[in-house]
Chain A
Amino acid sequence: MYRYTDFDRQFVRARADQYRDQLERWQAGKLSDDEFKPLRLQNGWYVQRYAPMLRVAVPYGEISSLQLRALAKIARDYDQPDTALLAEAQHKQLALGEVPVPGGAPVGTKLQTGYGHFTTRTNVQYNWIPLHKSADVMDLLASVNMHGIQTSGNTIRNITTEELAGIAPDEVADPRPFAEILRQWSTLHPEFAFLPRKFKVALNGAEEDRAALGWYDIGLQLVRSEAGELGFKVRVGGGMGRTPIIGTVVREFLPWQHLLTYVEACIRVYNEYGRRDNLWKARIKVLVKAEGQRYIDKVEEEFRQIVEVDGAPHTITQAEYDRVQACFVNPPLAPRTRQGADARLHEIVRADAEADPQYRRWLQRNVRAHRDPALRVVTLSFKRLGQAPGDATAEQLETAAELADQFSAAEARITHEQNLILPWVHAQDLPALYATARKAGLARPNIGLLTDMIACPGGDFCSLANARSLPIAEAITQRFQDLDEEFDLGDIRLNISGCINSCGHHHAGHIGILGVDKDGKEWYQVTLGGADGTDLSGPALPGKVVGPSFSAAEVPVVIEAVLDTYRQLRQPAANGRAETFIATLRRVGMDPFKAAANGARFVERETA
């Protein structure tokens, strides 16, 4: 992972000092709430339904065991509301009612404290830290080279890459050095701190798009030209929200040296012409959609002027690439040799694991190939009954740190799907890792399956949400606890958002669930056929709505009806395994699924 330089370290400390100065001026009444708000947002501090929320940046998801322990400390010591606030919040959330589960116990809100939450943009969020302690938390983060810079606000947000960057077998080139060069360029950029709206950039270096590039304000795919030169295919103007749009390719090949210059041109034109009169039309996707070729022409002209008039001062030099690339240090991995008692113990652990039928499933779902044939990439599942998707308690964060220390050169990565991966695991260590992770409850072999769903914090925490996400997620998780059934349903992406802001990426789910508000009650729209851009899902595409929204109680039943339809219609695939859900949906079309979903409505059945 990236090693901080001395400059990086003092910069993050200066940022923490600056934040404390701002917080103190706000507390002294020198800054109004309205003046302080954009400043705290640019450091990741929101104020949510009941308490502030902090979003900590984890660039490219890469995190050390030291940092995981610092996050655990923050969870334990700071993510703690006072008793009265928690009781009031719990009381209000319970009043929203329970989600019944057919054949199971109804699910209501159970607010937790003392934990971190992994987000789809590989950040970590906390929900209960009092604002008056916020500057102390920023100091603590700075002490382990972390911060919340531009994790919110109308800024260039924390930049993401696909989770296997630098270790994927199918990689064109490692996207992280370029992402880091972009991150440094965008950090406290003086011209682009108050854009019309938030701005998200993602990079993908593999052949498969695992970074959802089509859904980003700017999506950058590393490619090689026919001459073998490295560059980017540039997409601009993708985004979810109320109007889901897939980004437009504006450059088929941009030499890597021009990356900063071209992105500067794209964002400058947006800063000048993006709409500021309507929050819902302020994203760059609306500008690109409205202006089409005129936007592209304007960007190309601005790019030309930066090069010809300004002299392209941000042209990336080979020396700068080399400098940043060298900051991504691959850990030295000595070959594993075991002797004597150690070897005998290892044999016992291996024999134990291999006798466990779950172990085979875990190897199948949670273990992936690594660029280094001696190594494996292992996913720790943070999708399990009784805890919200992507939530990790202080204790679990510490356990993850221990697993990283023991098995993965003290490094882990947060994934877009809200899990943790261990990127440097020796193939020989798999049985021992499995045994330890299973004891910690992090070895559920459900990666890529139905219960490995994405969900935003929703109406239990977020003030933007129209409806709760977490009880819906918990109800569906409870209904699909039988691993035989989950394995039979196979690869599927279920994504849940509590509002149209789409933090739960419902548009990109094979099945998407979106919370909507009607007459102050919680309702849910179901979409089918969305895609993030992976090989499994196909090119990025928003799902289609199956019909009028459903009540919370109907949602688990509707999901089951849709899955039953799949089970009836699927065909054996060429590899001997069944056709996937998304492949069946693409082959037969929406209609039978739509009919099944709408047929599961309670009201319809009563009136029929």
Chain B
Amino acid sequence: MPRLAEGEFALVREHLGQAIRTPTDPVRWGSGMTDLDFRILCAEAAAQMRDAAGLAEHVPLAEEGARRLRHRLYLGVAQRAQGVALLLAGLPGAAIDSHGQAADIFLALGTRWQLGRTLMARAEAQASAGDLPAARADWSQAAELLDALGAVPDARRARNSLAAVGKSGA
């Protein structure tokens, strides 16, 4: 997880490849890594790397696992990763819907970083679909949320994206 936060997605994928071959424990302090935790991390790393094959492998299993366990946070993460997969497949409309479902979950949970990142992902899909006002609104809201949380690098990315759209003049 620290490597994921640092943006070392390839390293994360390598670690997870080793991890899945080993057993897990119900650790008393909560660090037992379940199959669902594993799938979610893989899906997240694949989404960050824009790895269509990785997304196709892990997202359906992550989503199925999250639904079966009624794990709302992970369902949101899986749906955001699915949104990335749909955008990579050239389906920005479906991607926007998927990100919207994820955003609803994160809004209900009050998870500001997850919501901020989902809005950024949706903004990207909206920009790709040509709806720049909606994209600007999402990037702007994401920057606000992430600023309030103190998520400095992500907030900067959101503002940079917003500025880039502004410069494009669209």
The answer to whether A binds B is: no
Chain A residues with CB under 8 Å of chain B are none
